[in-house]
Protein backbone atom coordinates (compact mmCIF):
# COMPACT_ATOMS: atom_id res chain seq x y z
CA UNK A 1 0.00 0.00 0.00
CA UNK A 2 1.48 3.18 -1.20
CA UNK A 3 0.41 6.48 0.27
CA UNK A 4 1.00 9.45 -1.89
CA UNK A 5 1.84 12.68 -0.17
CA UNK A 6 1.50 15.82 -2.16
CA UNK A 7 2.98 19.05 -1.13
CA UNK A 8 0.56 21.87 -1.74
CA UNK A 9 1.55 25.49 -1.83
CA UNK A 10 -0.21 27.87 0.46
CA UNK A 11 -2.28 29.99 -1.89
CA UNK A 12 -3.76 32.43 0.62
CA UNK A 13 -2.13 35.76 1.32
CA UNK A 14 -2.29 37.20 4.76
CA UNK A 15 -4.08 40.51 4.39
CA UNK A 16 -4.26 43.34 6.84
CA UNK A 17 -7.74 44.33 7.70
CA UNK A 18 -8.92 47.19 5.54
CA UNK A 19 -10.61 48.81 8.51
CA UNK A 20 -7.25 49.05 10.27
CA UNK A 21 -5.70 50.73 7.25
CA UNK A 22 -8.57 53.19 6.91
CA UNK A 23 -8.45 53.92 10.64
CA UNK A 24 -4.73 54.70 10.42
CA UNK A 25 -5.27 56.96 7.40
CA UNK A 26 -7.95 58.91 9.24
CA UNK A 27 -5.67 59.36 12.25
CA UNK A 28 -2.87 60.54 9.98
CA UNK A 29 -5.12 63.09 8.25
CA UNK A 30 -6.46 64.41 11.56
CA UNK A 31 -3.01 64.84 13.02
CA UNK A 32 -1.47 66.38 9.91
CA UNK A 33 -4.32 68.87 9.50
CA UNK A 34 -3.30 70.52 12.78
CA UNK A 35 0.00 71.61 11.30
CA UNK A 36 -1.44 74.57 9.40
CA UNK A 37 1.14 77.30 9.68
CA UNK A 38 0.45 80.98 10.03
CA UNK A 39 2.72 83.94 9.79
CA UNK A 40 5.31 84.30 12.53
CA UNK A 41 4.60 88.01 12.91
CA UNK A 42 2.73 88.79 16.13
CA UNK A 43 -0.60 90.43 15.31
CA UNK A 44 -3.69 90.62 17.52
CA UNK A 45 -6.48 89.99 15.02
CA UNK A 46 -9.93 91.44 15.60
CA UNK A 47 -12.65 89.02 16.64
CA UNK A 48 -15.52 87.70 14.58
CA UNK A 49 -18.37 85.37 15.49
CA UNK A 50 -18.79 83.96 11.98
CA UNK A 51 -16.82 81.07 10.56
CA UNK A 52 -14.01 81.77 8.12
CA UNK A 53 -12.65 80.00 5.07
CA UNK A 54 -8.98 79.33 4.58
CA UNK A 55 -7.69 79.47 1.04
CA UNK A 56 -4.84 77.28 -0.16
CA UNK A 57 -3.45 79.79 -2.63
CA UNK A 58 -2.99 83.05 -0.83
CA UNK A 59 -0.65 85.94 -0.27
CA UNK A 60 -0.52 87.19 3.28
CA UNK A 61 -0.23 90.93 3.91
CA UNK A 62 0.35 91.75 7.58
CA UNK A 63 -0.04 95.24 9.05
CA UNK A 64 1.51 95.39 12.53
CA UNK A 65 0.78 97.68 15.45
CA UNK A 66 3.81 99.79 14.42
CA UNK A 67 2.31 100.23 10.91
CA UNK A 68 4.91 97.98 9.30
CA UNK A 69 3.85 95.92 6.29
CA UNK A 70 4.98 92.35 5.64
CA UNK A 71 4.18 90.29 2.55
CA UNK A 72 4.61 86.59 3.38
CA UNK A 73 6.94 87.45 6.32
CA UNK A 74 9.12 89.84 4.26
CA UNK A 75 9.21 93.52 5.23
CA UNK A 76 7.89 95.87 2.55
CA UNK A 77 7.59 99.65 2.56
CA UNK A 78 4.27 101.33 1.79
CA UNK A 79 5.60 102.55 -1.56
CA UNK A 80 6.86 99.12 -2.67
CA UNK A 81 3.65 97.27 -1.80
CA UNK A 82 1.80 97.48 -5.17
CA UNK A 83 4.87 96.52 -7.21
CA UNK A 84 5.88 93.53 -5.08
CA UNK A 85 2.28 92.31 -4.80
CA UNK A 86 1.91 92.61 -8.57
CA UNK A 87 5.02 90.43 -9.09
CA UNK A 88 3.58 87.77 -6.79
CA UNK A 89 0.21 87.85 -8.55
CA UNK A 90 1.72 87.47 -12.02
CA UNK A 91 2.58 83.83 -11.26
CA UNK A 92 -1.00 82.97 -10.28
CA UNK A 93 -3.65 85.71 -10.63
CA UNK A 94 -6.24 83.49 -8.86
CA UNK A 95 -4.47 83.91 -5.51
CA UNK A 96 -6.40 85.50 -2.66
CA UNK A 97 -4.81 88.37 -0.75
CA UNK A 98 -5.27 87.77 2.99
CA UNK A 99 -5.05 90.99 5.01
CA UNK A 100 -3.96 90.44 8.61
CA UNK A 101 -4.19 93.77 10.44
CA UNK A 102 -3.70 94.32 14.16
CA UNK A 103 -6.95 95.12 15.94
CA UNK A 104 -5.51 98.39 17.32
CA UNK A 105 -4.75 99.80 13.84
CA UNK A 106 -7.04 102.60 12.71
CA UNK A 107 -9.50 101.71 9.97
CA UNK A 108 -8.09 104.41 7.68
CA UNK A 109 -4.72 102.62 7.65
CA UNK A 110 -6.36 99.33 6.65
CA UNK A 111 -8.31 101.12 3.90
CA UNK A 112 -5.07 102.73 2.69
CA UNK A 113 -3.45 99.28 2.64
CA UNK A 114 -6.35 97.86 0.62
CA UNK A 115 -6.19 100.78 -1.83
CA UNK A 116 -2.47 100.22 -2.37
CA UNK A 117 -3.04 96.50 -2.81
CA UNK A 118 -5.75 97.16 -5.42
CA UNK A 119 -3.16 99.00 -7.52
CA UNK A 120 -1.56 95.60 -8.12
CA UNK A 121 -4.64 94.55 -10.08
CA UNK A 122 -6.40 92.19 -7.69
CA UNK A 123 -9.88 92.42 -6.25
CA UNK A 124 -9.80 89.16 -4.29
CA UNK A 125 -9.32 90.09 -0.64
CA UNK A 126 -9.93 88.22 2.58
CA UNK A 127 -9.65 89.93 5.98
CA UNK A 128 -8.33 87.55 8.63
CA UNK A 129 -10.02 87.52 12.03
CA UNK A 130 -10.05 85.31 15.09
CA UNK A 131 -13.22 83.52 16.10
CA UNK A 132 -14.72 84.93 19.27
CA UNK A 133 -16.64 82.61 21.50
CA UNK A 134 -19.30 84.39 23.51
CA UNK A 135 -20.78 82.90 26.65
CA UNK A 136 -24.53 83.09 26.82
CA UNK A 137 -26.05 84.29 30.06
CA UNK A 138 -28.24 81.66 31.64
Q: CATH number for the domain including 124?
A: 3.30.420.270
Domains in the chain, number: 1
Domain enclosing residue 93, as ranges: 41-131
pLDDT at 31: 80
Domain annotation covers residue 72: yes
Domain annotation covers residue 27: no
pTM: 0.55
Domain annotation covers residue 64: yes
pLDDT at 40: 56
pLDDT at 137: 44
Domain annotation covers residue 28: no
Domain annotation covers residue 16: no
DSSP assigned state of 74? E
Domain annotation covers residue 4: no
Domain annotation covers residue 120: yes
Per-residue pLDDT of the chain (138 residues; tens, 9 = 90+): 677 777 776 655 556 677 788 888 998 888 876 665 555 556 555 555 555 555 457 888 888 888 889 988 889 898 888 888 888 888 777 788 888 888 888 888 888 888 888 888 777 787 776 766 665 544
> Of 80, 36, 75, which is closest to residue 58 (Cα–Cα)?
36
Domain annotation covers residue 81: yes
CA distance 89 to 59: 9
Amino acid sequence: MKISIRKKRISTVTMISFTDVIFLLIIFLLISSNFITHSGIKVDLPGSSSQQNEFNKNISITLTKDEEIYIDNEYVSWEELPEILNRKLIDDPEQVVVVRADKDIALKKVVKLLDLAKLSGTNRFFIATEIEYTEENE
